């Protein structure tokens, strides 16, 4: 009985001590807290599409954890590099405490960001890095996202796991975006290394127009039986368009893509899309904000690379709930 009383006493003491330490730590945090950090996030978008909504949700969920940080998320409604650059300049003119940005076309962004960084602005890249050699690239603190070329290589290998194509094509939905171009190059290089002819074509940022371009291409190049898209929306619209031509998906043509929506899941389950690579956009936004906060608040340096690349699991049913939540 006495032993039981002693144990209860120890437990109570630990609880009280923990509460006191927590309260003391809270007081210390409050006494050292800056009124507010302002962080801008500028992405090339379009910010309304499913991929970027997941990035945005990750950013909002992370920023909600920190009461002393204000995060402003912005980007063009549809991909437009000129608008993206104007928004980046506007963000820098606001003199934020930190910046997260996509390194969409690093050469064009170089002078602007180098100047801001040399003036003391911490920058973290998300989604698309500066792929130039280390001594040439923009000196941001770190990068959270997939290496675009590696994404294309992974897609090429995934395609070859399923069959040996006669000919392959990559649909570039953002001509001018270096990361999208590099994804295609990774896919094409894997195909060519396997002795398979492959090329990239411009399908524009419009998924409906892109589906028409791809359908016409495949009908004009009948030996092409493997298609890879760096984005799920043109993949989905192309599936619908090819079915109108009575092309059998999964037999006549096999399609791979990147990203996920509920429609993509359905097409994966039906075998109309073979696979989808995963750049985990929610994690890019969430982790980018956490790393920036830790840097601003405590001076921590984020890792130079946090790779978010993967492939959606075969049991796609596990992802349905998280897709509904806007996380995957």
Domains of the chain listed by start with CATH number: 37-146+280-321 (3.40.50.2300), 148-278 (3.40.50.2300)
From CA 111, how far away is CA 43, in angstroms rounded? 18
Residue 46 preceded by cis peptide, ω within 30: yes
Instruction: For the full predicted model, state whether its pTM sits above 0.75.
Output: yes
User: pLDDT tens across 160-216, in order?
Assistant: 999 999 999 999 998 888 889 999 999 999 999 999 999 999 999 899 999 999 999
Give the pLDDT band of residue 325 (cuts 50, 70, 90).
confident
297, 79 Cβ separation under 8 angstroms = no
Count of residues making up the chain: 328
Considering the chain, what is the average pLDDT of its residues?
88
Give the pLDDT band of residue 46 (cuts 50, 70, 90).
confident
User: pLDDT tens across 209-244, in order?
Assistant: 999 999 999 999 999 999 999 889 999 999 999 999
Pairing of strands 275-278, 310-311: antiparallel
Of 32-36, 44-48, 86-90, 272-276, the range with the lowest mean pLDDT is 32-36
**Region for residue 246 given its phi and psi (left: phi exceeds 0; alpha: psi -120 to 50; beta: otherwise):** left
Q: Which two tokens stand for residue 33?
A: 């807290």
Query: For 67-92, what is the mean pLDDT?
Result: 95
User: pLDDT tens across 105-149, in order?
Assistant: 999 999 999 999 999 999 999 999 998 999 999 999 999 999 999
């Amino acid at each position: 009985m006495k032993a039981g009383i002693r144990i209860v006493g120890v437990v109570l003491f630990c609880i009280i001590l923990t509460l006191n330490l927590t309260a003391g730590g809270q007081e210390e945090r409050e006494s050292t807290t800056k009124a507010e950090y302002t962080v801008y996030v500028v992405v090339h978008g379009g910010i309304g599409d499913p991929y970027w909504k997941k990035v945005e949700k990750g950013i909002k969920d992370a920023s909600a954890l920190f009461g002393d940080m204000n995060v402003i998320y912005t980007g063009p409604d549809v991909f437009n590099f000129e608008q993206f650059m104007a928004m980046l300049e506007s963000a820098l003119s606001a003199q934020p405490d930190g910046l997260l940005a996509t390194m969409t076309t690093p050469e064009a962004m170089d002078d602007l960001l180098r100047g801001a960084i040399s003036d003391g602005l911490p920058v973290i890249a998300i989604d698309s890095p500066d792929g130039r050699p280390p001594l040439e690239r923009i000196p941001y603190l770190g990068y959270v996202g997939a290496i675009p070329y590696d994404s294309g290589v992974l897609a090429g290998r995934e395609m070859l796991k399923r069959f040996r194509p006669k000919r392959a094509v990559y649909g570039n939905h953002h001509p001018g975006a270096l990361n999208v171009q590099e994804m295609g190059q990774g896919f094409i290089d894997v195909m060519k290394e396997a002795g398979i002819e492959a090329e990239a074509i411009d399908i524009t940022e419009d998924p409906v127009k892109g589906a028409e371009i791809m359908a016409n291409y495949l009908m004009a190049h009948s030996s092409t039986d493997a298609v890879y898209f760096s984005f799920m929306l043109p993949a989905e619209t192309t599936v619908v368009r090819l079915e109108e031509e009575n092309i059998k998906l999964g037999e006549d043509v096999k399609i791979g893509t990147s990203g996920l929506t509920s429609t993509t899941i359905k097409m994966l389950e039906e075998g109309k899309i073979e696979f989808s690579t995963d750049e985990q956009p929610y994690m890019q936004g969430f982790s980018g904000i956490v790393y920036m906060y830790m840097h601003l608040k405590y001076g921590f340096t984020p890792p130079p690379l946090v790779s978010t690349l993967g492939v959606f699991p075969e049991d796609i049913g596990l992802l349905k709930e998280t897709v509904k939540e806007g996380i995957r």
